[in-house]
Amino acid sequence: MPKDNHLNPQNSELGKKSVYEAEYNPEKLFPIPRKLNRERIGIGSTLPFYGFDLWNHYEVSWLNTKGKPIAALAEIIYGCESLNIIESKSMKLYFNTFNNTKFDDVNAVAAVIKKDIESRVGNTSVSVQITPISHLKSLHLFVQPDGICLDDLDIECSVYHHDADFLKTEEQFVEETLSSDLLKSNCLVTNQPDWGSIQIHYKGKKINSEGLLRYIVSFRNDNEFHEQCIEQIFMDILQHCRPEKLTVYGRFTRRGGLDINPVRSTHPIDLKTVSNIRLCRQ
């Protein structure tokens, strides 16, 4: 694992011309400490939420023992309690190193990936599910997030940098699920746009819908990683609206064959509670 002074995002492969290696090389994985951005939004070592980061990788391939290529999809999950995240371009470069590498079977591939990622994220186990494309009997139907979509609200927007003051509550007590496809931010390093959908389930005083949508839109010109963006939203709603229960689920469009989908919640949560759905933009 790289030394701490090498973990700054500026030292990663983001925004740089890269050498694409085709032989297995776990050193391509670049961890970034979560604390770098958590400290800025007031999250200390004791986390105020549960959750995990769910990655889908659509460009996975290796060679079987006879040298025949196998194409597959990968699902990777690790907890938000991990010390580090994996920088997304480095994940792609890491998977590229499998392209000309022979493995006995799919289980051997999954075991290597699990070991390599666990050694870099730290403090948590990693779930790796590899599914060869030949095993897929049917494709998931494109769906939209559950809940009431806020995007048809006829509102005016003029603030395009994070502003939690839009978050207001009303007297009515509810338990509801809200969603929006208007979440956009920009990569912290390259400034490339990141497009996302968000689902918010909560129990407590009703959150003003117009204010919540303006708040979501206010991330539009901000620079954040996916994971920190969802954690910021979770913390803002928790602090400004004080719900009894809260789950925030972000689904981001893929880049380089990868999508990252963070979940943060006031209670323990797993894929039995939230589904690894595939949205129309994914």
61: β partners: 71
Please tell me the distance from the alpha carbon of residue 191 to that of residue 168, in angstroms, as a whole number.
30
Exposure class string for 235-269: b at 16+ Cβ within 10 A, else e: bbbbebbebeebbbbbbbebbebbbbbbbbbbeeb
Please tell me the distance from the alpha carbon of residue 53 to that of residue 135, in angstroms, as a whole number.
25
Q: Which of 53, 194, 236, 259 is catalytic?
A: 194
Please tell me the distance from the alpha carbon of residue 96 to that of residue 180, in angstroms, as a whole number.
33
Q: Which of 80, 187, 229, 241 is catalytic?
A: 187
Contact 259, 55 (CB under 8 A): yes
149 is catalytic: no
241 is catalytic: no
Tell me the backbone φ, ψ of residue 32, rounded to 5 degrees. -130, 125
| Identity of the residue numbered 9 | P
207: β partners: 169
Active site residues: 187, 194
